[in-house]
Structure 1
Amino acid sequence: MANIVPDSRPISRPTSAWATGEIGQTEQLADRYVAATRTAMVAMTPAIARRCILTYTAPGATVLDPNPTAGIALTEAARTGRHAVGIQPRQPQWQSVCDANLDLAWLAGAPAPARTLTGIADPQVANLPAAVDLVLTGVLLDRDGGHYNRALLDLYDDLRGVIDWVWPGGYVIITCRAWHTSRGLLDLPGEVDDIARAVGLAPHDRCVALTSPIRLRPGSAATHIDVMIYIVCQGRAPCLSLRA
C-alpha cells in the first residue's frame, strides 16, 4: 500500500507549492478507497487532505467536513488519529461512497472514530469530543461547471453553519481548482476567497498542491489544486455544546 504522505512529525510550515502528486492517483486509492472516489479527486486528493491534516492539526484533534462528498477528508482524518466529523453530503449519491471509504479506514485499524451528522442541528453535536480544530472541505463541480452558482451558495451556507463550532484561531481550509468549461475558465478559487471573507474568515495562507509529479523538462507543468487556508478570528467563541 502506498504511503501518501509520511506520518512522521513534524511537517514544516507550508510553502507555495506542495509536492503532493508524486504518488499517482490510482496508487492513492488502492486498498484505501472505493473506485467511485476518483470523481471527487478533482477537488481534493487523499495526499492533499493528509498534508493539510498533518500540517494544521495534532493527533486527537477534531476535523470537520461540512460537505464530504466521497469522504476523503474524513477518511484521512480517521486514518491519522483525528476525530472525523462530517455532515451528510448534499448530493445523496455520495453517501454510500463516503460510508464505504470510512468503513475501509475502520477495517484497516483507523485509531479514531468517524461520525456523520444529519445536519448542524443533529443531537449528536452535543456528544462530539471537543470544538473543531480544522474544517477541511473541497468544492466539487460537475464536468462542465454546471450548478456553479449553486455550489458557491452551498459553500457559503456550509461555512456559515459551522464557523461557530471552531476554536478561536482554528483553521478552515478549502480546496478547489479553476474550472475549464465550454464557456471558458471559471475562477473558482477567486469566488471561494470572496465567500470565505464574507463569512468572517481571515486569510492565512494560499498554496498550490500538485496532483502530478514535478517534471524538469522545459515546458512541462504539473497540474494542481488550490489550497486556501483561513483562520477563525480570535474574538469568536465556539459553540458551548461542543466543549469537552
Structure 2
Amino acid sequence: MSDHSTSVWPTGQHGPRAQLREAGCVAGTEFDRERIPPAVAAHAIAAWTHSGDLVLDPDCGAGTVLTEALRAGRHALGLTVCKPWWTLARANVTAAKTAGAWCDGSVLETRPKMLATVGAAGLVGRVGLVLTALRTGPEGDLTESVVAELAKSMRYCEPLLRPGGHVVIVASPSRRSDKSLVDVTSLVVGAASAAGLTLVERCIALAAEVRGNRLAAVADRQAPHREVLVFQLTHEVVLAASAVSPSRLRGYGFGRRAA
C-alpha cells in the first residue's frame, strides 16, 4: 500500500555474549538462541518510542527486549508460555530494576491471546511499540503454523497500539531442507496485512562489526544479520499518505462522493 524505506543498522559492534553482559542480563539468557540481540532491541526502542512509552513483547523468550526497554526508560510487558523463559525474563527484569531502571516491568506466563481478553482492556491504545522475534518451530523450521501464530499475535496486539505506534518483527534468515532461502519478508508482511498492519520500513540489523566502510568478521555466525520489518496501522498509513497526495486516498476507496 505504501512505499517503504530501507536502512542498515550497525548493531554488530559487539558479539552476542558481550551484548548480554553490557545489558546486565542474567546467566542462561544466552540459551535463548532466537532472542532479539540487546543492540537490535535498543536501536528499535530508541527509534520508535519515547520516554515512558510501553513496549510489549508477546513472545519475549528470556526477556532481552524487556531489559532494553527498562534501561531506556520505557515500561515493559512480556508474555511467554515457556516456564524456563518466564523465569529468566523475570530475573532479567529484576536485574534491570536493581541496576536503577525506574519504569514498570512485568512478565506473564500466558499466550498472546490473553491480550484480547477483558483482562487486557487497560492496555488498549497504550502500547507505543510491539517488538518481538519471529520464533521458529521445535525443529527450527519456519512452518505455516509458525507464521499463523505470528499473525494471531499481531491481531491481538493491533488494538493495543497508541496513535503512531509501531509493530516491529525481527527475523533471522531461514532455509528449507534443500538449503534454499525462505522468503521471510513476504511471509511476515502477509501475516501483518491480515492483522490490519502495513509495512513502512525494512531494515537490516548487522551482526558484524563495521570498521570504516567495511565489515569485519561476523560476530554471530548462527545469524549473520537479522531482518527488521516495521509496521504501522494500515488506516494511519493511508491517512499519512493522503496528507502528501490526496489523490492516493481515492485509490483506497476514500474521498468519493456518495451516489
Q: Which amino acid aligns with 2:198?
A: A
From 64, 87, 93, give the equivalent of 1:72: 64
Confirm whether residue 61 of structure 1 aligns to residue 53 of structure 2: yes
From 80, 83, 93, give the equivalent of 2:84: 93
- In structure 1, what is the equivalent of residue 257 of structure 2? none
- In structure 2, what is the equivalent of residue 106 of structure 1? 97
Task: Report if aligned partners of 1:18, 1:207 keep a CA contact under 8 Å in 2.
Answer: yes
- Structure 1 residues 162 and 128: CA distance shift in structure 2, 3 A: closer
Separation in 2, partners of 1:170, 1:100: 28
What are the superposed Cα offsets for residues 9-62 of structure 1, whole Å, 9 maximum, x if unpaired? xxxxx8621101001211111161123322435452000000000111110111
Task: Report if aligned partners of 1:168, 1:234 keep a CA contact under 8 Å in 2.
Answer: no
Q: Which amino acid aligns with 1:211?
A: A
Q: Which amino acid aligns with 2:88?
A: V
From 183, 204, 218, give the equivalent of 1:187: 183
- Structure 1 residues 218 and 78: CA distance shift in structure 2, 3 A: closer
Q: Please list, as runs of the form range in 1=range in 2, the aligned pairs for 1:32-43 lying within 5 A after superposition.
A: 32-43=24-35
What is the Cα deviation at residue 130 of structure 1? 6.2
Separation in 1, partners of 2:215, 2:60: 38
Q: Which amino acid aligns with 1:94?
A: W
- In structure 2, what is the equivalent of residue 240 of structure 1? none
Percent of aligned pairs with the same amino acid: 34
- Structure 1 residues 137 and 98: CA distance shift in structure 2, 3 A: same
- TM (norm. structure 2) is 0.75
Structure 1: tracts of 5 or more residues without a match: 1-13, 237-244
Structure 2: tracts of 5 or more residues without a match: 238-259
Separation in 2, partners of 1:75, 1:99: 10
- In structure 1, what is the equivalent of residue 192 of structure 2? 196
Task: Report if aligned partners of 2:154, 2:195 keep a CA contact under 8 Å in 1.
Answer: yes
- Structure 1 residues 113 and 123: CA distance shift in structure 2, 3 A: farther
From 102, 110, 115, give the equivalent of 1:120: 115
Task: Report if aligned partners of 1:144, 1:180 keep a CA contact under 8 Å in 2.
Answer: no
What are the superposed Cα offsets for residues 109-156 of structure 1, whole Å, 9 maximum, x if unpaired? 112111234422566535559611111111122685236333212111
- Structure 1 residues 179 and 43: CA distance shift in structure 2, 3 A: farther
Task: Report if aligned partners of 1:137, 1:173 keep a CA contact under 8 Å in 2.
Answer: yes
- In structure 2, what is the equivalent of residue 148 of structure 1? 143
Q: Which amino acid aligns with 1:65?
A: D
Confirm whether residue 30 of structure 1 aligns to residue 25 of structure 2: no
Larger Rg: 2
Separation in 2, partners of 1:20, 1:176: 14
1:162 partner SS: helix
